[in-house]
Structure 1
């Protein structure tokens, strides 16, 4: 958790060095659904976060610090987002989101729209992915959602149409992907340790050769046995 706090005020590889528009943590314990802790304060100023990180033990967790790309700094807009057993966090943006927000929301079916508590593009992308079969096809469902959002952005002239680095999990596996409609995909790395695997936006130690960069246009699937590399086929979503 020290690295999360450090990156919130001194990120080296992200678009902005300061990520002070809130933070969030999702962790999986004995229950199927994750526990979520979020706040709009910067991660470095929250004493409760330090206490939680010191005491909680979890087999799998997601953690995120936020730099808003235009939507309000509210607790509901902080990542990770969760529905049932699934949690999701995202770095990046959908181009011209303010012009396509209504159309993007229209892609979320009524059964899932009740989970739309914030107004970010990231939350919309997550709910669309759930509607596209994320539960049974975790990578394909996300790819179809990204493709739908990218087409809407392109039609509205939003540039760059899509920048996407994200992690999502059902509590048993973690999926992550890196993609952009231009050549500037947000960074994504992973590393295997003796006691687990970390997926990060930037390495949190000086052993840089130990970290593997996820290539643009690639997804990874992390299980207890290791990391699988998967391609991203944006053609999965028909025009």
Structure 2
């Protein structure tokens, strides 16, 4: 399990999003309140944004966020209208290394996954690998279920919401073939800097927590745990793709 968060809205300095809130995503690395399978997120962290030309960029580190000496300098130096952040608790058997650290990035999007597929290497990986085009499979650098599902997402067509729904539904369709004891926790956020799509769901287990705040400091935030006690934070619905546009105008996409 991990904790994830994303922001889309007016330009925002990184520390305003990353570290300043009372229960920020950085604090959730060591003080998570709604995690089921771990107590801390000490296996690395990363944050992604889009530069002035609209190209995605990311900073990732295998250190826990509280041990990374770069956090303060990055926080006070970087501004962006989109932030996507992950603090990682590695699934047993999936190594703590740079290639396995989110957010994952392609030529057009940033992607984070909070969850896992039980015993991925022995259950779902073969099915995903067969479904992927050879060129897409060859671009996978790490061993996580998350990166394989990112590759499956990238292979879909349509809007961000369409692609996320198609990837998610394919995974959900595969899980029953693997056995009644195989859990899949499927919280995803993906953005191209103009739109953002997210889904909260699980198979054979409770879905991880995920919240939406439509009115947070000039934008909208989706996060594993609410940043504060404001009543503006609402739990994400199960198995519905929520789509945000920039300028922010949230809507649900079936």
Same fold (TM over 0.5): yes
Distance 1:150 1:196 in 2: 31
- Residues 96 and 156 in structure 1, CA contact (< 8 A), matched pair in contact too: no
Q: Alpha-carbon deviations, 1:6-40, whole Å to 9, x = none?
A: 11111111232300111111111213321111011
Specify which structure has the bigger relative contact order, considering alpha-carbon pairs within 8 angstroms and separated by 6 or more residues. Answer: 2
Alignment partner, residue 229 of structure 1: 252
Q: Which residue of 86, 89, 106 maps to 2:112?
A: 89
Aligned to 2:133: 109
Secondary structure of the equivalent of 1:53?
helix
Q: Secondary structure at the match of 2:143?
A: coil
- Cα 1:95–1:150 change in 2 (3 A) is farther
Once the two structures are superposed, residues 59-101 of structure 1 have per-residue CA deviations (whole angstroms, 9 ceiling, x without a partner) of 1010100111121001110111011111100101123312132
**Runs of 5+ consecutive residues of structure 2 not aligned to the other structure:** 1-17
Q: Which residue of 1 aligns with 2:232?
A: 210
Residue in structure 1 matching 2:143, options 106, 119, 124 = 119
Aligned to 2:201, what secondary structure does the other structure show? strand
Query: Structure 1 stretch 185-194 or stretch 78-87: which is displaced more?
Result: 185-194
Quick check: 1:25 aligned with 2:25? no
In the TM superposition, what is the alpha-carbon distance from 1:200 to its structure 2 partner?
A: 0.5
Deviation (angstroms), 1:216? 0.8
Tell which deviates more after alignment, 175-184 or 67-76: 175-184
Within 5 A, what are the aligned runs for 1:135-174?
Answer: 136-157=158-179, 159-174=181-196
Give the distance between the partners of 1:165 and 1:69, measured in 2 at CA: 15
Check conservation: 2:140, 2:148, Cα contact below 8 A.
Answer: yes
Report the CA distance between 1:165 and its aligned residue. 1.0
Indicate if the aligned counterparts of 1:95 and 1:153 stay in contact, CA closer than 8 A.
no
CA RMSD of aligned residues (A): 1.7
Shift of 1:46: 0.4
1:201-237 CA-partner distances (Å, limit 9, x unpaired): 0001122x22011111112111114211233xxxxxx
Cα deviation 1:83-134 (Å, max 9, x = unaligned): 111110010112331213233222221232232111110111111111122x
Q: Distance in 2 between matches of 1:78 and 1:32?
A: 22
2:98 to 75, 88, 102: 75
> Which stretches in structure 1 are left out of the alignment for 5+ residues?
232-239
SS at match of 1:59: strand
TM-score (norm 2): 0.84
Q: Provide the residue aligned with 1:180 in structure 2.
A: 202
What does the per-residue CA deviation read over 1:122-153, in whole Å, with 9 as the maximum and x for residues that have no partner?
A: 111111111122xx232222222223333433
Which of the numbers 219, 222, 236 marks the counterpart of 1:199? 222
> What's the TM-score, normalizing by structure 1?
0.89
